[in-house]
Structure formats: structure tokens, C-alpha cells
Amino acid sequence: MNQPLLNDRYIKAALQQPTDRTPVWMMRQAGRYLPEYRELRAEAGSFMDLCTNPELACEVTLQPLRRYPLDAAILFSDILTIPDAMGLGLYFTPGEGPAFKNPVRNAKEIAALPIPDPNQELKYVTDAVSTIRHELKGEVPLIGFSGSPWTLATYMVEGGTTKNFSQVKGLMYEQPQVLHQLLDKLADSIITYLNAQVEAGAQALMIFDTWGGVLIPRDYQEFSLRYMSKIVQGLVREKDGQQIPVTLFTKGGGKWLDLMAATGCDCLGVDWTTNLSEARQIVDGKVALQGNMDPSILYGSDERIRQEVETILASYGHGSGHVFNLGHGIHQTVDPEKAGVFVNAVHELSKKYHIQ
């Protein structure tokens, strides 16, 4: 498993080391916009059947790499694997998104939650990581990931997707100490889970804080950032002599980049609502930046896509420390050919921003 990386642009950029061009990958690059994914999912029977089968998860992870010259692979899994392993009964209803049979809403239910063993209840994830790492043969690095404690808690307390977050915010304002117990337990679980992914072969880590942006600044610091910071401090940051870069991404979190940069992470994901040049000024060299094209640009013409890529590259400017990505996941109705235009444009147009 110690084969040298043939393409280490992503690792170098996330650590702010020089590269020959800007690396690129896409959030949700393995997924529903690809016809080969839809075909495999139909054969597997369900989304969870794909996730819990290491060989199928490996195949889905590799599918976009066969189509596009991407600079990283990301584990095909779900952010809700930990709550499912805690016994909440994750299930998916077509058109409705994820839901739990057993949401938790009081101190007794939260106290009863176990911290899952990644080599037992979540072994299908670590097995998938080792299988993917083996099949990649050092072609590109493999990114492991988890949802953030706050984001996982929103699903666990609400029982599924929500528009107003009334249950979890109600708990936050009425019994904050109870929510802190849940978040602390989730942070401990995520540290164990992500370190197990590194042990199994993940070469970089990412924490997705999908719902941090729904909080006011004070509550974001207390109920989201505090626990992501705890996770960053608990992660294995080196394996086999190689640094393991850690990226934090809060959707809607552009106004807190300075606070996020102070956690000790290596890279921050930025969504499309933040100007990349302003983000670079705010973080002032403390961390690399990942992002941040609006996924909807992929509905535009080839020339419009190339134009947007050039605009974002120019916004970041010269030098290292930029991982090009979408500002959130690629939409399932995007033409796969447009994703190819995007990836190729980044490679072609970014060369001039790097010292040859």
C-alpha cells in the first residue's frame, strides 16, 4: 500500500506546496449524474446496498476517474454512516432523502448511544477504503471523509432532512448541555472513524459541515466549530512518512473563514457565495483553499464553463494552495460531458498561475 503517488498535485496543493497546475476534483464526483453509476445502483438494489458492499463502493469511486483526469478520488460512502452504526436505523425514501427510524431527542436517548467501532459496525467503510486504495495503484490520492458533529446531529434529532431545524434548534436553546453531550460523543466517534480510514489507506481527510451555515455566528462557534476543532486536534496527520491534509467545509460558512483557519486544519472548502480572492486575503496563508464554482455553471455552454474557470483561477491568483472544486456537490441532472469540459479547463487554464 506504500506505492508512491503518481499524481500528488492534490496533496501538495492542500499543504500549500508548489504544483505545476491547479488540482481539481468534484464533490459528489461519484454519483447520480453518471449513467454507469445509475446502472450499478439499479443492479445493487439500493443506495445503502452500494455503500455497504466494499467492492461496489470501490467500483463507484473509480467510475469518475475513468472518465476524467481528476487529481483525487473520494471514498464513496454517506455522511450518515456513524448515526446508522449507533442504531438509529438509516433508510432512504426515493425523492425524500435520508431518514432515521429512531431519532434521538432527550438526554436518556443520547446517553444510550454507543461510539461505533470502525472495525466492527463500520468495517464495510474501512474495507472499502483499503480496496479502493489497492485498486488506485497510486494513480491519485484517496480522500476519506465524515460529516461534522453538528450536521450529523441535525439529522439525528430531526429524524431526517428539514427546512427549519426546529427540533435540533429547540434542543440547542432549551437544553444546550444535552446537545453538547451528543456533539461531544459524535466528535469522539468521528475521530475514531477518520483515523481508521487513514489506517486503512486514506491519504487525505475532509469534514463536511453541510448545515453549519444555518446557525448564527455565536452558535456556529459553540455548536459546530468547537467540535470540528476538537476533531482536527485528534486526527492522525501523518502515515508512512506522508502528511495527511485535513479539509474543513462549512456550506454557507464564508463569513467564518478566519475562525475555521485557526482550528489547525490544512485546507478550507469555500462555497460559491464567497469571493476566492477575499477568502485568500482573510486566511492570509494559514490554510489552502478549495472551491468554489457554482455547480449550476455546468448547465451552461462549454465556453461559459471555461470562462468561469478562468474567472475563479484569476480570483485566487498566482501561487500554490488552491484545490479547484465546485462550491458544493455536482447536480444529478448535469450532462457528464460538461463535467469533462470543467476538469479539462482547470488543467489547461491553470498552468500560467504556477511557476514552471
Overall number of domains in the chain: 1
241 is in an annotated binding site: no
354 is in an annotated binding site: no
Q: Output the tens digit of pLDDT for each of the chain's 356 residues.
A: 567 899 999 999 999 999 999 999 999 999 999 999 999 999 998 888 999 999 999 999 999 999 999 999 999 999 999 999 999 999 987 777 899 999 999 999 999 999 999 999 999 999 999 999 999 999 999 999 999 999 999 999 999 999 999 999 999 999 999 999 999 999 999 999 999 999 999 999 999 999 999 999 999 999 999 999 999 999 999 999 999 999 999 999 999 999 999 999 999 999 999 999 999 999 999 999 999 999 999 999 999 999 999 999 999 999 999 999 999 999 999 999 999 999 999 999 999 999 75
Q: How much is the pLDDT for 249?
A: 98
| Annotated active-site residue in 28, 226, 237, 304 | 28
Provide the CATH number for the domain around residue 118: 3.20.20.210
155 is in an annotated binding site: yes
Per the listing, cell 460529516 goes with 147
Is 237 one of the catalytic residues? no
Residue 296: inside a domain, yes or no?
no
Residue 94: inside a domain, yes or no?
yes
Grid cell at residue 245: 491534509
Residue 346: inside a domain, yes or no?
no
16 is in an annotated binding site: no
184 is in an annotated binding site: no
| Annotated active-site residue in 8, 37, 71, 78 | 78
161 is in an annotated binding site: no
Is 9 one of the catalytic residues? no
Kindly report the backbone phi and psi dihedral angles of residue 288, in degrees, each rounded to the nearest multiple of 5, phi listed first. -80, 170
Residue 162: inside a domain, yes or no?
yes
Residue 252: inside a domain, yes or no?
yes
Grid cell at residue 45: 438494489
Q: How far apart are CA 9 and CA 138, in angstroms?
A: 12
- Which residues, at least 6 apart from 307, have a Cβ–Cβ distance to it below 8 Å? none
Reported pTM: 0.97
Is 28 one of the catalytic residues? yes
Q: In which domain, by residue range, is 220 found?
A: 23-279
318 is in an annotated binding site: no
DSSP label of 159: S
227 is in an annotated binding site: no
Residue 136: inside a domain, yes or no?
yes
Residue 77: inside a domain, yes or no?
yes
| Annotated active-site residue in 32, 67, 226, 237 | 32
Is 306 one of the catalytic residues? no
One-letter amino acid of 283: V
Is 32 one of the catalytic residues? yes
Q: How far apart are CA 30 and CA 40, in angstroms?
A: 12
Q: How much is the pLDDT for 116?
A: 97
Residue 74: inside a domain, yes or no?
yes
Q: CA neighbours within 13 Å on the CB side: how many for 308?
A: 25
| Annotated active-site residue in 155, 193, 227, 316 | 155
247 is in an annotated binding site: no
